[in-house]
Amino acid sequence: QSVLTQPPSASGTPGQRVTISCSGSTSNIGSNVVNWYQQLPGTAPKLLIYSNNQRPSGVPDRFSGSKSGTSASLAISGLQSEDEADYYCAAWDDILNGPVFGGGTKLTVL
């Protein structure tokens, strides 16, 4: 059971906008920034969004993040087939004294 809660799956058609939610508690999302990771099939995770809503260099602006209270969300607009991947939210946890992850959301592009 993961500390952060994400839906196990999400889907959309090319060009659509999809959102993935992430729910936590006061010791993690409520107190710290949220990061999102993208894991393409058979590859290592990659930092997609950091500090709630910042994109590393090279990440398209189709990807955006937001946070409110103890929840966060990742939005992907103009969905493309290459966006098909697993997405993980994460945040530092002040009780565990380490980063905690969501269980991951498998995004399917129909």
Instruction: Kindly state the smallest distance separating residue 76's Cβ from other proteins, in Å.
Output: 19
Where does this chain bind other proteins (CB under 8 A)? Answer: 2, 32-33, 35, 37, 39, 43-47, 50-51, 56, 86, 88, 90-92, 96-104
Strands 105-109 and 85-93: antiparallel
56 vs 78 by CB, closer to other proteins: 56
First to last CA, the chain: 28
Quick one: 56 or 69, whose CB is closer to other proteins?
56
Q: How far is CA 47 from CA 31, 55, 79, in A?
A: 20, 9, 18
